[in-house]
Structure 1
Amino acid sequence: MVLLLQAAFLPRLVYFLRTSPLLDVSILNSFDDHLRDAFQSIFNIKLDQKNWLQGTLPICVGGLGLGSAAELAPFAFLASAAATVALQDLMLPRDGIYVDNFRMQVYDMWRATNGDVVALENPSQKHWIAPCLNRSVDRCN
């Protein structure tokens, strides 16, 4: 059943998060709350905060792989933006008419929480998510 949940919406959600600089995380927190409610309703269980946090961890570290849209959004967007910056430079004018501030705004938000541990040009989502994942694993223990 968990795999069905993942297969149903996660690919579309991840695509949306990779391509959209969401600066208002309240929308994503609301989505996460609805996901938690649906999961609890489907499985007829009640999860406390610590158990839910563990459920959002990737399967490889002992979670259910449900993820958190609010936590995933900055990593997904920054990795995607870094991976496509060369193509963006070819396609978009850089003459002052077009200025992309979203990437720096999201990066500044990410640095406020995680520090300067990943370079803005790094296209690997695995590197972007590592600091947050480590904190989440520590909170579950």
Structure 2
Amino acid sequence: MSNVHVIDHPLVQHKLTLMRRKDASTNSFRRLLGELSTLMAYEVTRDMPLQDFEVETPLETMTGKVIDGKKLVLVSILRAGNGFLEGMLNVVPGARIGHIGLYRDPATLQPVEYYFKMPSEMAERDIIVVDPMLATGNSAAAAVARLKQL
């Protein structure tokens, strides 16, 4: 079962608009993409499960919350997805990174895999696939299908 989450936060909308300006410089586009991906990381990790964690503070021992569950992998669909990695790693710096290279066959219009590199023990990890290029969704669907084979 797949879920689509529309991120309509005002800051996300603002940055998307600035990125789309035809006179946006390469530098400002990259900066805005990094900021956008940081904001998106907050949204896509919003529902991650938490567990209690005892910590010694300067005043006393307390019970706080830490993320519970599997280790996280950010999977970039090459090359467009790479622009999201830095901003997302600002939020989850311990995440591992995987890459899937796909292109669309001009005759069949179907995605063709040319590169696949993932961290070890993928079955024990949660995955966030990053790819800003959503048109037909065929590449994203092929990437997710390939990851499910692991």
TM-score normalised by length of structure 1: 0.30
TM-score by length of 2: 0.28
**Could you say which structure has the larger radius of gyration?**
2
| Structure with a larger share of its residues in helix | 1
